[in-house]
Amino acid sequence: MVSPMLVVIEEKKYYWTLEFCQKAHISRSTLLRWLKKGVIKEPIRDRRGWRIFNDADLKKIKVEIGRTRENKDEQINETRM
């Protein structure tokens, strides 16, 4: 069954913002903040101007989530010393 938020364009799967955030386990506000700061690049947009993300975008954001968690762990360890 295809997700109602899944978009298929030229046989490639894309996700709108809400589903992308759910798959990445981040809030919409975090995603928009990272886009604004340039932490991750702006995705393509559909004909209405809505952002659509693909699986490659999901992999990139999961790498960034890992970096963010590593940085938080380092900061916690430094404050404990």
Tens of pLDDT, residues 35-49? 999 988 999 999 999
Give the pLDDT of residue 50: 93
1 domain-assigned: no
Give the pLDDT of residue 39: 85
Q: Token pair for residue 62?
A: 């999961």
Look up tokens 């004909």; give the residue: 47
Residue 2, strand partner residues? none
Phi, psi of 56 (to 5 degrees): -65, -40
CATH of the domain at 17: 1.10.1660.10
Calpha distance 23→17 (Å, rounded): 10
Domain around 70: 6-80
**Cβ atoms of 31 and 21 closer than 8 Å:** yes
For helices 55-80 and 17-24, give the axis angle rounded to 10 degrees.
Answer: 50
41 domain-assigned: yes
Amino acid (1-letter code) at residue 10: E
| Percent share of the chain, pLDDT over 70 | 78
